[in-house]
Amino acid sequence: MDITTYGVRSARYVVDRYHQFGLKGLQDGRRDNRGAPRVLTADEQQALAAQLHADVEQGVVWEGKRLQEWIKEQFGKEVYLGRTYEFMRAAGFSPQKPRPQHVKGDPEAKEAFKTKS
């Protein structure tokens, strides 16, 4: 164990894999693992980007929750809220949400407060 720096449990695991699969069992299995499939296909991502770009032309600001609902309606896929932000960034947008306005806010006082440049 001192030669390989493996612990007893890890060394036994490697030996068992060798006995079970031969030299193939000693190879790094991560090379063949391509990961999970994509949530949206390339066509769906393009449709999403086109919709985002069309709406930004009209002044519509998308947020994650709205995008999540749109994906469900258009493609019938459930996605986590965090993934919607990834889709927005891939389309060239940043997730944004308009700042809340106070219900008792006075627009005239707000304009008067702004500094003139």
CA-CA distance, 15 to 18, in Å (whole number)? 5
DSSP tag of 62: P
Give the pLDDT confidence score for residue 116 in this predicted structure: 65
> What is the reported pLDDT for 103?
79
Residue 41: pLDDT band (50, 70, 90) is very high
Q: Is the pLDDT of residue 43 over 90?
A: yes
Q: How confident is the model at residue 50 (pLDDT cuts 50, 70, 90)?
A: very high
Contact 54, 93 (CB under 8 A): no
Find tokens 């627009």 and name the residue. 107
Amino acid (one-letter) located at 20: Q
Is residue 95 scored above 60 in pLDDT? yes
Taking residues 68-75, report their average pLDDT.
Answer: 95
Q: Is the model's pTM score more than 0.75? A: no
Q: What's the pLDDT score for residue 117?
A: 53
Mean pLDDT for 6-32 is 90
